[in-house]
Amino acid sequence: MDFAEINTADAEGAIAAHSVRQGDLVIRKGEAITASLVDRLLAENIARVTVARLAADDLNENDVARDLALRAAGDHVRVADPFTGRANLFSLARGVLRVDAAGVDRFNMIDERATIATLAPWKVVEAGEMIATVKIIPFAIDAATAMRVSEAAPRLVSVSPFAAKKIGVISTLLPGLKAKTIKKTLQVMEGRLAPAQSSLAWETRVAHDTAALAGALREMSAQAPDMIVIFGASAVTDRRDVIPAAIEQAGGRLIHVGMPVDPGNLLVLGEIGGKPALGAPGCARSPRENGFDWVLQRLLADVPVGPGDVMRMGVGGLLMEIGARGQPRDAAPGDAE
């Protein structure tokens, strides 16, 4: 593509690189300059204009943007009609945004003229929300470059919709844990489930004891919940602690203990009967965002979560402090938990 300032008399067939407004004459950036527009420009004493001329192998910016966006769109994603070299991608469902971050980097590294930007991976998105945009910088890209970028574009963004699930909650008890604390915890949990059209279907309370909790887990698992969440009366400090040990004693499997997200470090990820079993960190009693949300949201959207997924949550994992939790991160040594 040629880009230059030329004599207006020679501009027919070129593309206006800049908008022109003078008197009643308006030529928009990107508009094709016709013979009649040349005459009007000259009538306004505009002797030179900056234009672009496409080469034989150049592809129009909108065509390239549309094709790349369609390639980048995965499940539950809609591509809008392109304009000014931009094609926007929108979610078709409420759920969790999945982004191939390495693929987005590869796409953007190929050529400065072709770009894609997305929302943060794993963000909860609404139906109709814009989740990504493809922008072609100049008015055209040669076909060979467009092909190279296209090869890096497949399925870069998709949405995993939330699925309505029935959740069981077990609260363990120790002296000093108030009933109103448990009631508030359950209300907060219901608030977390509601946006995903999921519900708290079973709830029980047992002593903070490995055997008692294991029995409750077996009984609740027999009800076939889609997930079990355990709110412990005391924070987990080891894989052999009450909650992890009870999951295994109940016939379940430990997947991961702890996470590089704060608040949320003390999360337990396991499964019983092939269904997720989560030991919630203490901060999950608060409605403020914490690491528990990151795991729960994925599971509510049927996105598997393994040890590697948890271990990769550290970048961006330092979240806003929850003042009500037992041990604030900036507490001095010796401060009470």
- For the chain, the average pLDDT equals 94
Interval 258-275 mean pLDDT: 97
Tokens of 95: 């759920």
pLDDT at 318: 96
DSSP per-residue string spanning 96-140: EEEE-HHHHHHHHHH-TTEEEEEPPTT-EE-TT-EEEEEEESSSE
Interval 278-283 mean pLDDT: 97
Q: Are the C-beta atoms of residues 251 and 214 closer than 8 Å to each other?
A: no
pLDDT of 79 above 80 = yes
**Could you tell me the pLDDT band of residue 181, with boundaries at 50, 70 and 90?**
very high
Q: How far apart are CA 230 and CA 268, in angstroms?
A: 9
pLDDT at 320: 82
pLDDT of 325 above 60 = no
Question: Model-level pTM?
Answer: 0.88
**Could you tell me the pLDDT band of residue 321, with boundaries at 50, 70 and 90?**
confident
pLDDT of 197 above 50 = yes
* Of 52 and 279, the one with more pLDDT: 279
User: CATH classification of 58-161 is 1.20.120, yes or no?
Assistant: no
Question: In CATH terms, are 58-161 and 166-311 the same topology?
Answer: no
Vertex 162, ends 169 and 276: CA angle to 5°?
A: 40
pLDDT at 326: 57
pLDDT of 336 above 50 = no
pLDDT at 1: 80
pLDDT at 236: 96
Domain ranges across the chain: 58-161, 166-311
pLDDT at 323: 61
User: CATH classification of 166-311 is 3.40.980.10, yes or no?
Assistant: yes
**Could you tell me the pLDDT band of residue 334, with boundaries at 50, 70 and 90?**
very low
Q: pLDDT for 246-258, tens place per residue?
A: 999 999 999 999 9
pLDDT at 329: 59
pLDDT at 125: 98
Percent of the chain with pLDDT over 70: 95
* Of 280 and 334, the one with more pLDDT: 280
pLDDT at 331: 55
DSSP per-residue string spanning 159-227: EEE----EEEEEEEE-TT--HHHHHHHHHHHHHHHGGGT-EEEEEEEEES-HHHHHHHHHHHHTT--SE
Q: pLDDT for 206-239, tens place per residue?
A: 999 999 999 999 999 999 999 999 999 999 999 9
**Could you tell me the pLDDT band of residue 278, with boundaries at 50, 70 and 90?**
very high
pLDDT at 72: 98
φ, ψ at 294 (rounded to 5°): -60, -40
pLDDT of 335 above 70 = no
